[in-house]
Amino acid sequence: MIRSARSDQAVSGAASLRALVVSPLPPPPGGIATWTRILLAEIAMRPEVALSHLDTAVRWRPVTQVAAPVRLIGGSFQALRDVVRFRRTLAAVQPEIVHLCTSAGFALRRDLIMLRAARRAGARSVIHYRMGRIPTLAHNGNREWAALQACTREAAVSIVLDRLSQERLALACAGSDIRILPNMVEIGAIDAAIQGVARSNADVRIAYIGHVLEAKGVTDLLEACLRAGAPADLDIVGPYEEGYRRRLEAFAESGAASRGAVRLQFHGTLSHEAALRVAARADVFALPSHSEGFPNVVAEAMACGLPVLGTRVGAIPDMIEPQEDAPAGLCAAPRDVDGLAAAMARLATDRALRDRLGKAGRRRACKDYAAPAVTSRLIDLWREITAHQADQA
């Protein structure tokens, strides 16, 4: 008998693998939370795994409130609460494997405490780094990098989202087992959500979905659209601060007189299905972030058959400019507005290019990111880790 740490409802059935996943669930929406939701749904159909989940979602502040002092003070209280709940769940569930998702930062101290507690309880652990800042941390060599290395050495396996992160972490933590695992998308649910949605035949339409923040490159995207020169509609989906919205609208109005007109439409926070329908109407999906992990929204845009305009951060280059397959989009350096504008101009004026990139992205999403296949890879990894522990016993 296993109890879910989230719902406290019994999960029955004879399962050969007991796993505890520590990660956030919606609300609020986000990449890690979406991954968790999909994973729980997939493993619910796998009787060979008895899964418990500990929800670590941050709900005490708006997702757009990212000031370091606020995060440090409030996050410290949440970390203490999470550790207490983790210890209780660990004792109740007695898992063979603990899978801990983290975005690093201040949370790494909490993560290290949990990893050590799991080891003392006899469980093997996986730390899943859900961000793309590892190369930057390795270059800076700061306290966060030291804490991340400590977590990596404590875990049986560390999962990263892109090749460069794997290379940097393996170099720093010789002997540690570093794997790459992509995020996953629900192809069937995406197809059902966008069925019957038609793309516009008028001016080029660009979709952005995510937190509406400077760090997500939203200002860069608007400036690039203006510099590209072609009239465009820019759909922005996601939570925003009213002051930032007003600044973007004023910027669009002031730039329209001398450059291409960009019509902004802010949709706010939408349901997952409604956000997909906004994306499916677009000609281009854009995510010009300054920092990313493996953005689910890019994989979903690829599943919708959209060409992607992104930046070379995190796993985005691996996703849309892979070494071994046809490209699914165009990339620019982060904060490179001229590079974004040049790529946007190409996409806006070349329908054949958009179609070719979109079809390649759809193929890759179905082949590499479909939820059943990625879940099977994760379960195989858990089994490999626990089998290795049994061999050593």
Over residues 83-100, the pLDDT tens digits come to 999 999 999 999 999 999
Residue 271 in this model has a pLDDT that exceeds 90: yes
Over residues 179-226, the pLDDT tens digits come to 999 999 999 999 999 999 998 777 899 999 999 999 999 999 999 999
The distance of Cα 280 from the centroid of its chain, to the nearest Å, equals 20
CA-closest candidate to residue 347, choices 182, 205, 143:
205
Per mean pLDDT, which range of 102-111, 133-142, 219-228, 318-327 is the poorest? 318-327
Q: Is residue 205 part of a domain?
A: yes
Summarize the confidence of residues 359-376 as an average pLDDT: 97
Per mean pLDDT, which range of 6-10, 62-66, 203-207, 247-251 is the poorest? 6-10
Q: Is residue 307 part of a domain?
A: yes
Over residues 274-290, the pLDDT tens digits come to 999 999 999 999 999 99
Q: Is residue 5 part of a domain?
A: no
Same domain, 129 and 259: no
Amino acid, single-letter form, for residue 72: L
Three-state DSSP string of 200-260:
CCCCEEEEEECCCCHHHCHHHHHHHHHHHCCCEEEEEECCCCHHHHHHHHHHHHHHHCCCC
Q: Is residue 196 part of a domain?
A: yes
Same domain, 203 and 163: no
Same domain, 217 and 320: yes
Q: Is residue 4 part of a domain?
A: no
The DSSP letter of residue 185 is B
For residue 302, give its domain range: 187-369
Under the banding of pLDDT at 50, 70 and 90, the label for residue 391 is low
Same domain, 324 and 273: yes
Same domain, 269 and 351: yes
Same domain, 342 and 264: yes
CB 227 within 8 A of CB 262: no
Same domain, 212 and 355: yes
Q: Is residue 10 part of a domain?
A: no
Which pLDDT belongs to residue 199? 84
CA-closest candidate to residue 155, choices 121, 114, 203:
114
Same domain, 250 and 146: no
To the nearest whole number, what is the mean pLDDT of the chain? 92
Which pLDDT belongs to residue 10? 34
Same domain, 179 and 156: yes
Q: Is residue 114 part of a domain?
A: yes
Same domain, 241 and 152: no
For residues 73 and 84, give the distance between their C-alpha atoms in angstroms, rounded to a whole number.
18
Same domain, 127 and 228: no
Name the domain count of the chain.
Answer: 2
Per mean pLDDT, which range of 58-62, 129-133, 208-212, 273-277 is the poorest? 58-62
Same domain, 176 and 27: yes
For residues 62 and 74, give the distance between their C-alpha atoms in angstroms, rounded to a whole number.
12
Residue 321 in this model has a pLDDT that exceeds 60: yes
20 CB-side CA count, 13 A: 31
Q: What is the CATH number of the domain that holds 39?
A: 3.40.50.2000
Backbone angles phi and psi of 128, in degrees to 5: -115, 100
Which pLDDT belongs to residue 2? 32
Those residues with Cβ within 8 angstroms of residue 284's Cβ, 6 or more apart along the chain or in another chain: 204, 205, 206, 207, 306, 307, 308, 309, 344, 347, 348, 354
Q: Is residue 67 part of a domain?
A: no
